[in-house]
Amino acid sequence: MSGIVVQNIQRADQSVIDALAECGVATVHEAQGRKGLLADYLRPIYAGARIAGSAVTILAPPCDNWMLHVAIEQLQPGDILLLGTTSPSNAGYFGDLLATSAQARGCRGLVIDAGVRDIRDLTGMQFPVWSKHVFAQGTIKETVGSVNVPVVCADALVNAGDVIVADDDGVCVVRRQEAAEVLEKARTREANEAAKRARFEAGELGLDIYDMRARLAEKGLKYV
Amino acid sequence: MSGIVVQNIQRADQSVIDALAECGVATVHEAQGRKGLLADYLRPIYAGARIAGSAVTILAPPCDNWMLHVAIEQLQPGDILLLGTTSPSNAGYFGDLLATSAQARGCRGLVIDAGVRDIRDLTGMQFPVWSKHVFAQGTIKETVGSVNVPVVCADALVNAGDVIVADDDGVCVVRRQEAAEVLEKARTREANEAAKRARFEAGELGLDIYDMRARLAEKGLKYV
Amino acid sequence: MSGIVVQNIQRADQSVIDALAECGVATVHEAQGRKGLLADYLRPIYAGARIAGSAVTILAPPCDNWMLHVAIEQLQPGDILLLGTTSPSNAGYFGDLLATSAQARGCRGLVIDAGVRDIRDLTGMQFPVWSKHVFAQGTIKETVGSVNVPVVCADALVNAGDVIVADDDGVCVVRRQEAAEVLEKARTREANEAAKRARFEAGELGLDIYDMRARLAEKGLKYV
Amino acid sequence: MSGIVVQNIQRADQSVIDALAECGVATVHEAQGRKGLLADYLRPIYAGARIAGSAVTILAPPCDNWMLHVAIEQLQPGDILLLGTTSPSNAGYFGDLLATSAQARGCRGLVIDAGVRDIRDLTGMQFPVWSKHVFAQGTIKETVGSVNVPVVCADALVNAGDVIVADDDGVCVVRRQEAAEVLEKARTREANEAAKRARFEAGELGLDIYDMRARLAEKGLKYV
Amino acid sequence: MSGIVVQNIQRADQSVIDALAECGVATVHEAQGRKGLLADYLRPIYAGARIAGSAVTILAPPCDNWMLHVAIEQLQPGDILLLGTTSPSNAGYFGDLLATSAQARGCRGLVIDAGVRDIRDLTGMQFPVWSKHVFAQGTIKETVGSVNVPVVCADALVNAGDVIVADDDGVCVVRRQEAAEVLEKARTREANEAAKRARFEAGELGLDIYDMRARLAEKGLKYV
Amino acid sequence: MSGIVVQNIQRADQSVIDALAECGVATVHEAQGRKGLLADYLRPIYAGARIAGSAVTILAPPCDNWMLHVAIEQLQPGDILLLGTTSPSNAGYFGDLLATSAQARGCRGLVIDAGVRDIRDLTGMQFPVWSKHVFAQGTIKETVGSVNVPVVCADALVNAGDVIVADDDGVCVVRRQEAAEVLEKARTREANEAAKRARFEAGELGLDIYDMRARLAEKGLKYV
């Protein structure tokens, strides 16, 4: 599976993808049955970004960012770069030049199970990155990896063309084939939450809204 | 100690609590003899918040946030929710709906030895949280815990009604019975520091202000 | 090497130092052959600071901040305090009073392989700190260390008078004797990058700009 | 609570304590309702030890082992030393001389939320230690702490005289007042497990022994 | 993908599997092009075990070990249980009773991206486990997961029936379809290493055996 | 400092080195004023080894073990290989073939701020290694580093020819020029400890042996 670039990948419908961004990570994760979260060590380099896009996946060797150049050629507007490594590395695989190149091709952001650098410039460009490390250590270009193959990134399996949703809560992957269905469930959930929020704002308790008192008593909860 | 909700807890005087918030974590910790700090892995979800309040404590099972609903009913205006777990968990126990409910009852914030989610919304609501993790992973409601019992949270023992002080430096607990005395010492310390600050601003050295030179020489410090 | 304060240290040319700050950590690290980075666990207490200065080094015992007072007397305008410990400690060695004193003497910031506190005040003063921990735990003044001796800080060796560059990417040390040469290389690199950036913005690919396609094919990369 | 030595503490019945050692950590933890485990970062310095004893508790400053000498005077045969710190430290608080002293007074082992050294000698003496760190770093004797006060150690609250059980699985605390009752439940559990073990050895499945198939189907498990 | 048990899985040839065990993790990992290693946080509970087997995979919720009972029914002699979780957990999913049941069905060991307990008993039974944690914390049986679906375990994707190789170096996965070819390459490598080992024992240098001197000089290495 | 091999290094007297091994890490660290310890994340691959030797130092790129071959040529009987990296790596730089080569030249062991593999074979050969990681991940041979230059390894600065002492407690470095003096102090310390040990075995307390009672009372310790 090494040394391969898959050029034609399928993507979910762009309007579905954009709508998933609006729902956010927590809601999407719930809507698809509490699956798809990437590990919580992935953190955004600045607060407030919220994006979704089709994954262009990269499997890269440790400390070697060559495949990022290869992957950028495969980008279409609205895509997100997602990089996993064959062995852990905290090196800074990605900085402002690569971001300039990716942004020029319509890329919405990067999810990387390694390090990133040029944080100040990336923030200025509003090119969001979710990474395991922030570290300026340079990388080499010696060993080929693969692009658009299935990749394990931060404990989750991601296929090329899967939908990536990312915000301040972290990163979630939605299978391409399930994107429309997940969106529908996410919207139902949001509608339901809006109603609940109004009741909470009015001072009602979850104990009553969700009718929990009897079941708590049954489980042995005692008030003293 | 499991499955119990203590309904009547004593609280410190609210004016004392509010004044402790103004002093901040570092000063309060010093004023009470350098005790009461919670572990430094608790970090605020956004910068700049500074609060104090009476602890409504929660002992919760891993990945189970049921007791938060129970605890919210016990809140009085000015309180802070504080949650410890019976086993480590990075799940997202708390999000914007629970925050809406807690805020509606006058709660000032949450300290949680586990995960939180909906960071963007919580930041928008200005509902501050100090947590061990940020993670969207959903929780279940299967097992009862307890409310307002003594809880170990981030290496510190917290009793219901103890005063919690939290800011960008982290979180500190003050025993309810000692709150007034700690405040007095904190104010003395602050007054003392204000005088020192003026001398430092004027360029005086700590070596002279604190008269350290002789003792340093005695301990063997050599200038070369 | 313990119990010594070296009073006369050599510094690099101030205009060189100031120019290195403009280049930033990633560029300086590359310009000097990818060496000199301090470990990535050092993080800034607030985003956006970018400084360079001559290192006034401190070797301190765990939980003991006495030497900071000694070091501040050795500061000249434009210097940076850099503290390593003889054994790991997360205690808060440095807060707003010491920052006031250091700032009054022209100090530009602190790099500390331990903890810092009073984050809110330090942010308000715009006194930047890169630290391993944020923790309010107080320190003692019992044991002497040394000032302006070689110090291992966050995995890197730093000599007094070496140039420290720090920004959102982390911290880098440049040997005093190499500062001018490194600056020259950094500027060449920046000029080169500016030209590249324009081409990337125009949509050119790194694959073409760096002429990578033939070498990738030679290494066995296959497009499918 | 600092600077106090409580001299007379109550202990559980020694035969109960000895029997709890035989049950081991996992069984005792289950028997008391899945509570009382200390954090899993406490690891034994050598494999195979299994002990129980009454806790002589120590609250110690970081990098300062003075209170260990104070605590050893309070030991009775069959006791276990348990040390928590007021701030994290990886220093080596305890080595072969202190172990010799403790062993001479009948102490069965040490649980320490910090570092230990002289591993080779301690192993030779068969003096078991469960610690957070192994590190040779020496400590000082400058600041008093307390002995036989309630201590938070590795996330758990331990009172003087509580029963500590420790083996290769880690460490568990049993409240002194509950020791006899916990032992009874642990024995019931062991008897029950012995019967189960025979059925498992004979090849029966947990699915049948615990009658799980119907409930699994009800929860939606599908065989394909 | 949740709530499914795949009953018929394909396995590699048993003689191939057994031979891979003899090669060990480092050799197998090299033979298949340096891929397939699970994360290095998986450690054996005792030293010296070296096994290989077909993976019966388990995807389990946090703190819930119900699926282990389901998976044991799917075991054939020579298999290895491999468990990943839907969210991180350090709970003790597996102990001596489950090991007795698994061993009765010919299971060779367990690889688990979570916690294990009863270390003393498992060591006595010589039932090897590679785990992320050792912790006695009990689990519940409330939520179904899946058996024999693809699982991400310690950063690697494992399919049911893939070959797992585990020894003191850690754990490696070999795709079922590639097992025979990997074995062949591993044997070639071992033969090659045996010849090299004899030359090294005789005092020859790698610099000469691998003819490195010219290339080192070309890369700029200087002897001074 | 990259790309250099220093061929002639000075070593301490071999009888001094051998005697330091007998003293062990904790004693040597104390004898030289509590300095020189390497970070506690370095752990031995098997228990019971205790060695000392002259450091042949290696500065290596991440994931690249080429310099180990270069360094082995520089070994003399009684030396210890010590490797630091220019950027963190958990790769397995060293295994049984390199150990065979090093052992053939009289090398006593390896200290490595990275990963090691072939643990089973190394244990069988009784070639001790203290490492940060155990991981089978292979390395490349692409980039030159240096041999026998000053290296930062696990937070400590080590010069070629410095004496390395390593045992179950970890690793300590003694400056070559100070080795004889440190040995003398270590022996004094050992003699002193032998006398103390006898008194402790006889049941005397440290409180009395070290005459601590008055100073404890003075510091405010109260018996209740």
pLDDT, tens digit (0-9, with 9 covering 90-100), for D144-193: 999 999 999 999 999 999 999 999 999 999 999 999 999 999 999 999 99
Where helices occur in B91-205 by DSSP H, the ranges are 96-104, 119-125, 179-201
Interface touch E152/A157, C-beta < 8 Å: yes
For residue A124, the Cα-to-chain-centroid distance in whole angstroms is: 21
Query: In whole angstroms, what is the distance from residue D119 CA to residue A120 CA?
Result: 47
**How large is the average pLDDT for residues D40-55?**
98
Question: Percent of chain B beyond pLDDT 90?
Answer: 97
Of C40, C60, C62, give the one whose Cα is nearest residue C171: C40
Q: What is the distance between the alpha carbons of residues B131 and A121, in angstroms, rounded to a whole number? A: 29
Type of residue numbered D205 = L
F18 Cβ neighbours under 8 A, 6+ residues apart: F52, F78
Instruction: Read off the pLDDT band of B67 (50, 70, 90).
Output: very high
Query: B86 pLDDT exceeds 60?
Result: yes
Token representation of residue B63: 């990945």
Q: What is the pLDDT of residue B218?
A: 96
Asked whether the beta carbons of D118 and F8 are under 8 A apart, the reply is no
Output the pTM of the full model: 0.95
Q: How far is F72 from chain D (nearest CA, A)?
A: 29
Structure tokens that stand for B32 in this block? 């009470």
Query: For residue A1, what pLDDT is reported?
Result: 52
Q: In Å, what is the CA distance from B168 to each residue of B40, B53, B122, C122, C135?
A: 11, 16, 16, 11, 9
| Dihedral sign from CA coordinates of C77, C79, C81, C84 | negative
- pLDDT interval class at A73 (50, 70, 90): very high
DSSP per position, B153-180: ETTEEE-TTPEEEEETTEEEEE-GGGHH
pLDDT tens, B105-121?
A: 999 999 999 999 999 99
Give yes or no for residue F53 having a pLDDT over 60.
yes
Among A26, A37, A221, select the one facing B144 at the smallest CB separation.
A221
d(CA C105, CA C6): 18
In a 3-state reduction of DSSP, which class is residue F161?
Answer: coil
CA distance B190 to chain C (A): 11
How does DSSP assign A49-101, residue by residue?
--EEEEEEEEEE-TTB-HHHHHHHHT--TTEEEEEEESS---SEEE-HHHHHH
Is residue B8 exposed (0-12), middle (13-18) or buried (19+ Cβ within 10 Å)?
exposed
**Separation between Cα atoms, residue A195 and residue D64, nearest integer Å:** 57
Average pLDDT over every residue of A4-19: 97
| pLDDT, mean of residues A19-29 | 97
Instruction: Read off the pLDDT band of F87 (50, 70, 90).
Output: confident
Q: Is A62 on the interface with E (CB under 8 A)?
A: no
The C-alpha R_g of chain B, in whole angstroms, comes to: 20
Residues 6+ apart with CB under 8 A from E177: none
Average pLDDT of the residues in F185-190:
97
Whole-angstrom Cα distance, residue E95 to residue E100?
Answer: 9
Helix, strand, coil percent content, chain E, rounded in steps of 5 = 35, 25, 40
Contacts of C42 (CB under 8 A, 6+ apart): C111, C113, C130, C131, C132, C154, C170, C171
Burial of F105 (0-12, 13-18, 19+ CB in 10 A): middle
Task: Compute φ and ψ for D42, nearest 5 degrees.
Answer: -75, 120
Residue-level pLDDT at D1: 52
For residue D57, which of D34, D77, D75 has the smallest C-alpha distance?
Answer: D75
Q: What is the 3-state secondary structure (H, E, C) of chain D?
A: CCCEECCCCCCCCHHHHHHHHHHCHHHHHHHCCCCCECCCCCEECCCCCCEEEEEEEEEECCCECHHHHHHHCCCCCCEEEEEEECCCCCCEEECHHHHHHHHHCCCCEEEEEEEECCHHHHHHHCCCEEEEEECCCCCECCCCCEECCCEEECCEEECCCCEEEEECCEEEEECHHHHHHHHHHHHHHHHHHHHHHHHHHCCCCHHHHCCCHHHHHHCCCEEC
pLDDT band at D138 (very low <50, low <70, confident <90, very high): very high
* Residue E12, SS3 per DSSP: coil
pLDDT for C1 beyond 60: no
| pLDDT tens figures, A129-146 | 999 999 999 999 999 999
Task: Band the pLDDT of D219: cuts 50, 70, 90.
Answer: very high
The answer to whether residue E44 scores a pLDDT higher than 90 is: yes
Rounded CA separation C220/E172 (Å) = 25
Count of C-beta atoms within a 10 Å radius of residue A18 = 14
Task: Indicate the DSSP class of residue C46.
Answer: S
Report the chain C residue with the minimal C-alpha distance to residue F35.
Answer: C86
pLDDT of residue A87: 86
Closest CA to C166 of C111, C115, C84, C126: C111
Q: What pLDDT, on the 0 to 100 scale, is given for residue D30?
A: 96
Give the separation between CA F105 and CA C184, rounded to whole angstroms: 45
Burial code of C35-73, b = ≥16 C-beta within 10 A, e = fewer? bbbbbbbbbbbbbebbbbbbbbbbbbbbbbbbbbbbbbb
Closest Cβ–Cβ partner in B87, B137, B142 for E137: B87
**Cα–Cα distance between B148 and B9 in angstroms, integer?**
8
CB burial readout C79-109, b (16+ within 10 A) else e: bbbbbbbbbbbbbbbbbbbbbbbbbbbebbb
User: At residue B208, what are phi and psi to the nearest 5 degrees?
Assistant: -90, -45
CB-CB neighbors (< 8 A) of B2 in chain D: 33, 35
Q: What is the pLDDT of residue A2?
A: 78
- Please report the beta strands in chain B, taking only residues with DSSP state E, as ranges in sequence order: 4-5, 43-44, 51-60, 79-85, 92-94, 109-116, 129-134, 146-147, 151-153, 156-158, 163-167, 170-174, 222-223
Q: Helix crossing, D179-201 with D14-23: angle to 10°?
A: 30
Any chain E CB within 8 A of the CB of A37?
A: yes
Beta strand spans in C67-142 (E): 79-85, 92-94, 109-116, 129-134
Q: CA-to-CA distance for A52 and A173, rounded, in angstroms? A: 10
Report ipTM (2 d.p.): 0.95
For residues A90 and A63, the answer to whether their CB atoms sit within 8 Å is no
Contact: C134, B210; criterion CB under 8 Å:
no
Q: Do D40 and E133 touch (CB under 8 A)?
A: yes
pLDDT above 90 (res A5): yes
**Position B1 confidence tier, pLDDT thresholds 50, 70, 90:** low
Cβ atoms C71, C6 nearer than 8 A: no
Please determine, for residue E87, whether its predicted confidence score (pLDDT) is greater than 90: no
Subunits next to B (3 or more Cβ pairs <8 Å) are A, C, D, E
Query: Rounded distance, CA E117 to CA E91, Å?
Result: 9
Residues of chain A in contact with residue F140, where contact means CB-CB under 8 angstroms, are 142-143
Touching A (3+ Cβ pairs <8 A), the chains are: B, C, E, F
Check E115 against D40: CB less than 8 A apart. yes
What's the CA gap between C213 and C205, in Å, rounded? 11
Q: Is the dihedral of CA E197, E203, E205, E208 positive or negative?
A: negative
Comparing C-alpha atoms, which of F189, F123, F150, F180 is closest to residue F55? F150
The residue type of A60 is A
Split at pLDDT 50, 70, 90, the class of D31 is very high
Establish if E213 touches chain F: CB-CB under 8 angstroms.
Answer: no
Test B63 with E142 for CB contact under 8 angstroms: no
* CB-based contact, E41 to chain F, within 8 Å: no
Nearest beta carbon to residue D201 from set E66, E104, E136:
E104
Mean model confidence pLDDT for chain D: 96
The pLDDT value given to residue D87: 85
Give yes or no for residue D137 having a pLDDT over 60: yes
pLDDT tens-digit series, residues A99-133: 999 999 999 999 999 999 999 999 999 999 999 99
Q: Any bridge partners for residue D92, and if so which?
A: D115
Give yes or no for a contact between F165 and F174, defined as CB atoms under 8 angstroms apart.
Answer: yes
Residue F93, amino acid: Y
> F 143-182 residues with CB below 8 A of D?
167-170, 172
- What average pLDDT does range E70-79 have in this prediction? 98
Chain B residue numbers touching D87 (CB-CB < 8 A)? 37
Rounded Cα distance, D72 and D102, in Å: 6
D33 Cβ neighbours under 8 A, 6+ residues apart? B2
What is the pLDDT, as a whole number, of residue A176? Answer: 98
Percent of chain D with pLDDT over 90: 97
Q: Return d(Cα F69, Cα E204) in angstroms, integer.
A: 11
Q: Across the interface, do F140 and A142 touch by the CB < 8 Å criterion? A: yes
Q: Does E87 touch chain B (CB under 8 A)?
A: yes
Instruction: Judge whether F166 and E71 are in contact, CB under 8 Å.
Output: no
CA B192/CA D192 separation, integer angstroms = 65
What does the mean pLDDT of chain C come to?
96
